[in-house]
Amino acid sequence: MNRIYILIIAAIVYGLLDFYVYQAIKISISDFHESWRKGIVVGYISVSFLLFMGFAFYTKLDPKAFENLRLFLATAFFVTLVGKLFVALFLFIDDFRRFFTYLVSLLPAKSEAEIDGSRSEFMAKASLVAGVLPIAALSFGVISGAHDYRVRKRTISFKSLPKAFDGIRIAQISDIHTGSFFSRTAVKGGVDMLMAEKPDMAFFTGDLVNNQSDEAKPYLDIFKKVQAPLGVYSTMGNHDYGDYKSWASPQAKQKDIQNIHDMHRYMGWNILLNEHRIIKEGAEQMAILGLENWGNGRFSKYGDMSKTLEGVEAGQFKLLLSHDPSHWDAQVRPNYGDIDLTLAGHTHGMQFGIEFGEFRWSPSQYVYPRWADLYKEDDQYLYVNRGYGYLGYPGRVGILPEITILELRSV
């Protein structure tokens, strides 16, 4: 469909939504002084119009010259749109009441109270409150939650872990999404938190960028500081292959993927592309497996477990890096029962939810049964990192960015 027709349809839908919300505003300020009423109405219409125009011409702004403006426009439009939808939901409930009242008014016997189909002032005000709450929460999620890094620690015991590795501390970060960042200082602060933990090994489980390698350039020297005595190991996520961008040619896409590989190496990270590395401590060994992205459904399936395991001895302790946690249930558990620990990311916990003690809830759980933290089936473990960065909405509400520290014990 032609872009102009899409904009016209979007403008009509947006205008109807705004008119609906205006009904709640008009009733709620009916007792205000006339000058205040006019000011509020003009202000609301003006802001709403400017946000829609920003949305309409978003793609016309140069991403490099207007990076911050694009981020502000997209965020402001999304946050206010969510608020308006909440207002509309409450008004719809009131309209259902009014429609029922209208039906009652058609009955032969009725009282004056029964035919009062005017909009409820209480529901109008309640709808505005309902709209302000998500706007406040989502705004706070941008200002505070986006870079409120949390170090999450777990201890995992294995019968198969060689004694030489007993007590080893490993760090994991995932889903950096450099193309979404807006604060280099905050990002550096998270890396400093990771390094303060002094891990023996560190892992990155994919999604360095959103769409293309250029996004990572301003942050390479920050993440280059992620180091560990036994090495830093990484793999690719679904966003690292340029699958969500239109390229001039297949060659240009492959060149960008190679750039990302080179960036991992520049940072001193051992990128594993369907391959493995053997870590030795004296006479004992551990295999680090790095699978390219493999996800259920529509997600890319570049991973090849047979290739990744080629040459790995039976009985060795195996730690797998696999970006998408759906891979654990789809392939790892049914076919590779000797993989002891899998590290994944991908879900971000949808950047929204509630975590209180051991209680966790997020809409993510309705898509991914394994969406955050530690899971165990038989003698196999999966840890799903909540993500270091963010995608789309530049914030987090409840599900905060994570630095994982796992201590592995031998029993």
Domain ranges of the chain: 3-144, 149-410
State the virtual CA torsion across 391, 392, 398, 402 in degrees, nearest 10: 10
Residue type, 37: R
What's the confidence (pLDDT) of residue 66?
A: 77
Q: pLDDT tens digits for the chain (411 residues)?
A: 577 888 888 889 888 899 889 989 999 998 899 999 899 999 999 999 998 888 888 777 777 777 778 888 889 999 999 999 999 999 888 888 888 877 777 777 555 545 555 677 888 899 999 999 999 999 999 999 999 999 999 999 999 999 999 999 999 999 999 999 988 999 999 999 999 999 999 999 999 999 999 999 999 999 999 999 999 999 999 999 999 999 999 999 999 999 999 999 999 999 999 999 999 998 899 999 999 999 998 899 999 999 999 999 888 999 999 999 999 999 999 999 999 999 999 999 999 999 998 899 999 999 999 999 999 999 999 999 999 999 999 999 999 999 999 999 999
pLDDT for 110 equals 54
Q: What separation, in Å, do the N-terminal and C-terminal C-alpha atoms of the chain show? A: 62
Note the pTM of the prediction, 2 decimals: 0.88
- Which of 386, 381, 385, 331 is closest to 353 using CA atoms? 386
- Please name the fold of domain 149-410: Purple Acid Phosphatase; chain A, domain 2 (3.60.21)
DSSP lists the bridge partners of residue 201 as 170
What Cα–Cα distance (Å) separates residue 19 from each residue in 45, 53, 169, 348, 384? Answer: 10, 17, 57, 35, 43
Residues 6 or more apart in contact with residue 336 via CB below 8 angstroms: 305, 309
Predicted confidence at residue 290, as pLDDT, reads 98
